[in-house]
Chains A and B, each alone.
Chain A
Amino acid sequence: MSGTSRSHAGPLGPPAAARPIGQGLVDAGLISAEQLQEALARQRASGSRIGQILIAEGWVRPLDFYRALAGQLGLEFVDLVQQPPDAALFDESQYDEYARLQYVPWRASGGAVTLALAEPDEAALQDLRSRYGPETRFVITSRLDILWSIQRMAQQRLVADAVCRRMRLDPEHSAADVLTRPQAMLLGAAAVVLTALLIWKPLLTLLGLNALFGLLLFGSFLLRAILVWKGSGTLYQAKSTPEELAALDERSLPVYTVLVPLFRDAAVVPKLAAALRALDYPRSKLDIKLVLEGDDAETIQACKKAGMEGNVELIVVPPGLPRTKPKALNYALPFARGQLITIYDAEDVPESGQLKKAVLAFRKAPWEVVCLQARLNYFNWRENWLTRLFTLEYSLWFDWYLPGLEALGIPIPLGGTSNHFRAEVVRAIGGWDPFNVTEDADLGVRFTMSGWRVGVLDSTTFEEANSRLGNWIRQRSRWVKGYMQTWLVYMRNPWRTFRRLGWKGFLGFQAFVGGTFLGPLAFPPLTAMYAYWLLTRTHALDPLFPAFVLDISLLLLLAGNGLLIYFHMLAGWHRGRHLLVFCALQLPAYYMLMSIAAWKALWQLCWRPHYWEKTEHGLTRVEAPGGSDVAEAA
């Protein structure tokens, strides 16, 4: 650090005779001449600044680079850890702007403010002078220092916004309350009426319920059949060609933020580092944020030890409730520098070209497409019975159902990871709902409700399928609970949801989101009733099954179940996993597990609605694919 205080009030820029920054770093022995040549070549290809390239590749320490930059510009370099900003100058409510422009107010003297900044370009300086006055002075600091300072000084505000911003912007669609008062009253009234009817006309009431469930399940099945038909269409299965990808000019690529929320994931950090390193995107344009929980020391240590490149930054979320992934994402959102944002889970192995494919897809898509969901699948599908069935389910869901939803204009419930967003839109709608345990599904519906659209990206991210039953039930119960929350949130005002989604979107939402929990909830009683009849051939159930109800029930039993098995077979085949075609015959047993999870979800919705069932990762014995294996598997 410079001993003398030099700050700058005039236009910035190196003196005419000054050496370029790269050469200065070579002369100072901070990088080698070969590294400089390589960085210059990459600069020509990507259009990034030389400093960003050197830092992103890990060839120079950020502090060394920014110190050299300060020297080149004739400014003082400050280490904000040693010389923190003046708390009296720091305005908590401005943290968004500090993060966006990469600066913090540092000192004030003689009526002029000195700002510490990391990206000293003319546009930013003019912007800052117009805010703080022409006498504003500047010193240089590192981007990490800015990030650290904002997190330290605006912590309370950041946490409050992460939890409450979404609720403030759109209170009616927040899952903070499970039921609104009118919903609770309606539910209570329905329960009273149903009980009265069961006492007064028990058989007729049960018949009515049976018929109603039959029709709802039939509607859900019908939608799934239509989705498979639409989703299997050629136009929805291929969107970008290798030639188009190869022709992408790297200079035109935007900065891409990758958010990776981690909690008790120390075991998978080395794999995560390898997967992030394998992404085919200029590193200098990758802004990777590992979002950690403050009391998860083990994962924080693992991240620090993983030796990740300079484009990886750690965001530490202070511990507190609700401890959910969406809260962590909201906390990290102000620090995202990219025009595009994506989310990966700790155990994800995305196809290396996924980010480029997303850029291309956004360019080709209409302006209202603000989010793309990549396909998810599992690398450890062979591991055991559970992973095989889970993989079949995912193959159908992401490869066939979601393209079908896109084709029909029905809201797409996002899949938790590998969703790619236009950053400005995520910010505009207030980020994720921290009280919804499937914040992704909620966000997908919310985009459609707001007039935006979600598309499907023809690229696959491979994840680790849950290979242990208890862990699987925990994960699935959270998903089902989240779907219940989402359905309840958007049914608070059904008329408004209907007007915003249109009849197709509204019916699709009922059948797809509602059907996802109604089917598993109804499966055990219906199966028990059928098994009882099959074993006893009793006539006691005859009054519940008049001709029209029996016809629908038989259609569901034979065609519904049979065709769902068939659709899973096709999805397994289409993924090139031929063995899974035969495994599809075991789906009824898998449905039973889904039912157990759904009933657990309903129980939790009543008693612990915002509790986040943590899925343990890193349990598989199967090695995650890497490099070309990922592309081949995709």
Chain B
Amino acid sequence: MSPKQPELEASIERWAARLLVLCLAAAALGWLRLAEVLAVSFSGLALRSLMRSCTARSRLQTGMALPLMMALSPATVWPALWLALSVVALALREKSWVARLASLVTIAFPALLLHASRAYLQWLGYRPFWAD
């Protein structure tokens, strides 16, 4: 990693964070089209960081990107699928099967959590305000 690399990665991390905040704000305001575009941009940046530098933050961001796109609207299903396939490809780079599986889990877990939470709330028959 060149001396400038951490600064570059940090700058990309900051941009990704801004995109995430804007995306959540747009979704809260009901501007779904804008939120979709921002979510896809955020996911793209997160994946780029994960592919290039594999930093702790990029793994966290990619892990959040997947449920974000899945939750936002049906229109982002295709980018979400593309992201999922990229993550699988990335996991296959690892040296052992334990590492490959662990790599997948560290990215897919939030999406699984979202699904499990939805299923639980459905079973409960209750919809909290934050689920809307």
- Complex Cα gap A563–B106 (Å): 11
> Nearest chain-B residue to A565 (Cβ)?
B109
- Complex Cα gap A581–B109 (Å): 10
Query: Are A238 and B6 in touch, CB under 8 angstroms?
Result: yes
- Binary CB contact string for chain B from 89 to 132 against chain A (1 if under 8 A, 0 otherwise): 00000001011011101100110010011001100001011100
- Complex Cα gap A578–B105 (Å): 10
Q: Is A487 an interface residue (CB 8 A)?
A: no
Query: Are B113 and A558 in touch, CB under 8 angstroms?
Result: yes
CB<8 Å pairs between A and B, sample of 22: A229-B57, A232-B55, A233-B10, A234-B10, A237-B55, A241-B3, A551-B128, A554-B126, A555-B128, A555-B130, A558-B116, A558-B117, A558-B121, A559-B117, A566-B106, A566-B109, A570-B56, A570-B60, A570-B63, A579-B102, A581-B105, A581-B106
- Binary CB contact string for chain B from 47 to 80 against chain A (1 if under 8 A, 0 otherwise): 0000001011101100100000000000000000
Query: Are A569 and B9 in touch, CB under 8 angstroms?
Result: no
Query: Are B59 and A566 in touch, CB under 8 angstroms?
Result: no
Query: Are A558 and B120 in touch, CB under 8 angstroms?
Result: yes
What residues of chain A lie closer than 8 Å to B102, measured between beta carbons? 573, 578-579, 581-582
Query: Are A569 and B109 in touch, CB under 8 angstroms?
Result: yes
> Nearest chain-A residue to B14 (Cβ)?
A233
Query: Are B128 and A228 in touch, CB under 8 angstroms?
Result: no
Whether A229 contacts B60 in the complex (CB less than 8 A), given A562-B113, A581-B106, A582-B105, comes out as yes
Number of interface residues of B (CB under 8 A): 33
Which of B106, B117, B121 has the most CB atoms of chain A within a 10 A radius of its CB?
A: B106
Q: Which of B63, B96, B116 contacts A566 (CB 8 A)?
A: B63
Q: Is A574 an interface residue (CB 8 A)?
A: yes
Q: Is A550 an interface residue (CB 8 A)?
A: yes
What residues of chain B lie closer than 8 Å to A228, measured between beta carbons? 60
Query: Are B117 and A570 in touch, CB under 8 angstroms?
Result: no
What is the minimal beta-carbon distance from A327 to any residue of chain B, in angstroms?
39
Query: Are B99 and A578 in touch, CB under 8 angstroms?
Result: yes
Q: Is B36 an interface residue (CB 8 A)?
A: no
- Binary CB contact string for chain B from 1 to 27 against chain A (1 if under 8 A, 0 otherwise): 001001101100100010000000000
Q: Is A462 an interface residue (CB 8 A)?
A: no
A-B contact sample (12 more), CB < 8 A, given A233-B13, A234-B10? A233-B10, A234-B9, A237-B56, A551-B129, A558-B113, A558-B116, A562-B110, A562-B113, A569-B105, A570-B60, A573-B103, A582-B101
What residues of chain A lie closer than 8 Å to B105, measured between beta carbons? 569, 581-582
Query: Are A235 and B10 in touch, CB under 8 angstroms?
Result: yes
- Interface residue ranges of A220-241 to B (CB < 8 Å): 228-229, 232-235, 237-238, 241
- Binary CB contact string for chain A from 124 to 138 against chain B (1 if under 8 A, 0 otherwise): 000000000000000
Whether A232 contacts B109 in the complex (CB less than 8 A), given A562-B117, A579-B102, A582-B102, comes out as no
What is the minimal beta-carbon distance from B102 to any residue of chain A, in angstroms?
4
What residues of chain B lie closer than 8 Å to A582, measured between beta carbons? 101-102, 105
> Nearest chain-B residue to A555 (Cβ)?
B130
Which of B56, B63, B105, B117 has the most CB atoms of chain A within a 10 A radius of its CB?
A: B56
- Complex Cα gap A241–B121 (Å): 49
Whether A578 contacts B9 in the complex (CB less than 8 A), given A563-B113, A566-B109, comes out as no
What residues of chain A lie closer than 8 Å to B6, measured between beta carbons? 234-235, 238
- Binary CB contact string for chain A from 238 to 278 against chain B (1 if under 8 A, 0 otherwise): 10010000000000000000000000000000000000000
Q: Which of A234, A554, A566, A574 contacts B110 (CB 8 A)?
A: A566
Q: Is A390 an interface residue (CB 8 A)?
A: no
- Complex Cα gap A394–B117 (Å): 27
- Complex Cα gap A562–B116 (Å): 10
What is the minimal beta-carbon distance from A246 to any residue of chain B, in angstroms?
15
What residues of chain B lie closer than 8 Å to A570, measured between beta carbons? 56, 59-60, 63, 106
- Complex Cα gap A39–B64 (Å): 57
What is the minimal beta-carbon distance from B71 to any residue of chain A, in angstroms?
12
- Complex Cα gap A562–B105 (Å): 13
What residues of chain A lie closer than 8 Å to B55, measured between beta carbons? 232, 234, 237
What residues of chain B lie closer than 8 Å to A381, measured between beta carbons? none
What residues of chain B lie closer than 8 Å to A551, measured between beta carbons? 128-130
Which of B55, B59, B63, B102 has the most CB atoms of chain A within a 10 A radius of its CB?
A: B102
Q: Is A400 an interface residue (CB 8 A)?
A: yes
- Complex Cα gap A168–B70 (Å): 60
- Complex Cα gap A566–B64 (Å): 11
Query: Are A574 and B56 in touch, CB under 8 angstroms?
Result: yes
- Complex Cα gap A301–B27 (Å): 69
What residues of chain B lie closer than 8 Å to A547, measured between beta carbons? 129
What residues of chain A lie closer than 8 Å to B126, measured between beta carbons? 550, 554
- Complex Cα gap A559–B67 (Å): 13
- Binary CB contact string for chain A from 551 to 591 against chain B (1 if under 8 A, 0 otherwise): 10011001100110110011001100011011000000000
What is the minimal beta-carbon distance from A280 to any residue of chain B, in angstroms?
23
- Binary CB contact string for chain A from 529 to 564 against chain B (1 if under 8 A, 0 otherwise): 000000000000000000100110011001100110
What residues of chain B lie closer than 8 Å to A578, measured between beta carbons? 96, 98-99, 102-103
- Complex Cα gap A228–B61 (Å): 11
- Complex Cα gap A581–B101 (Å): 9
